[in-house]
A and B are shown apart, each in its own frame.
Chain A
Amino acid sequence: DSGVTQTPKHLITATGQRVTLRCSPRSGDLSVYWYQQSLDQGLQFLIQYYNGEERAKGNILERFSAQQFPDLHSELNLSSLELGDSALYFCASSVEQGTEAFFGQGTRLTVV
């Protein structure tokens, strides 16, 4: 158990819908990262938050957004979903930026 909790574990939704994925980092970790894992793209960095502020952006679509709340949990919002958004979404956390990151079990999103 990495100490990073992601909910839900599985999500099935229809095209055009909006979903929210939630991540609770390890206790004391200030940095949260979101990654997308798909068969064709592999593991891709989406976005990072550090102590409530956005710090880095990767290949994140405009339809996707995230935030980190004062209690340090983070949410990834995916809207206007398309079939191609089906993937495993991971959250990771670390104490400081650049230190080792611990991954949650992921949320498997299926868009039908």
Chain B
Amino acid sequence: AQSVTQLGSHVSVSEGALVLLRCNYSSSVPPYLFWYVQYPNQGLQLLLKYTSAATLVKGINGFEAEFKKSETSFHLTKPSAHMSDAAEYFCAVSDPFKNQGGKLIFGQGTELSVKP
């Protein structure tokens, strides 16, 4: 069975500092991996996805993530935090085979706070 662990339910950074949100996954096959962001009272917005192409994936709003198979990790980074980045971030995994349906298994989420 697939699972996702996000290390740290709350992360606080200063504006302009590096953002690092950690995600480790467990999967019996090389999975598809996703990062979603959820702003208060909103739905989930896709930040970026890994689907077995380049291991360094660039997403929207300056975020990127690197797939590291040996570490079973898919950490999310952004070089310089902005106040508007404050939100909850979810890492998710799905089975890459179409006959498995593509359902997402989510981590518990990491709430990012950005201090001025």
Contact = CB atoms under 8 A, between A and B. Distances in A.
Interface of A: 2, 4, 31, 33, 35, 42-45, 48, 50, 55-56, 58, 90, 92, 94, 96-106
B46 A48 contact: no
B116 interface: no
Nearest to A102: B46
Given A43-B106, A106-B43, 14 more contacts: A2-B45, A33-B103, A42-B109, A43-B109, A44-B106, A58-B103, A90-B44, A92-B44, A97-B98, A98-B97, A100-B49, A101-B104, A102-B46, A105-B43
Interface in B89-116: 90, 94-109
Nearest to B96: A98
Contacts, number: 67
A102 B45 CA distance: 7
A104 B103 contact: no
A48 to B, nearest CB: 5
Nearest to A94: B102
Contacts of A99: 102
B70 interface: no
A60 to B, nearest CB: 11
A67 B64 CA distance: 36
Contacts of B101: 31, 48, 50, 55-56, 97-98
Contacts of B84: none
B42 interface: yes
Contacts of B74: none
A100 B44 CA distance: 12
Nearest to B101: A56
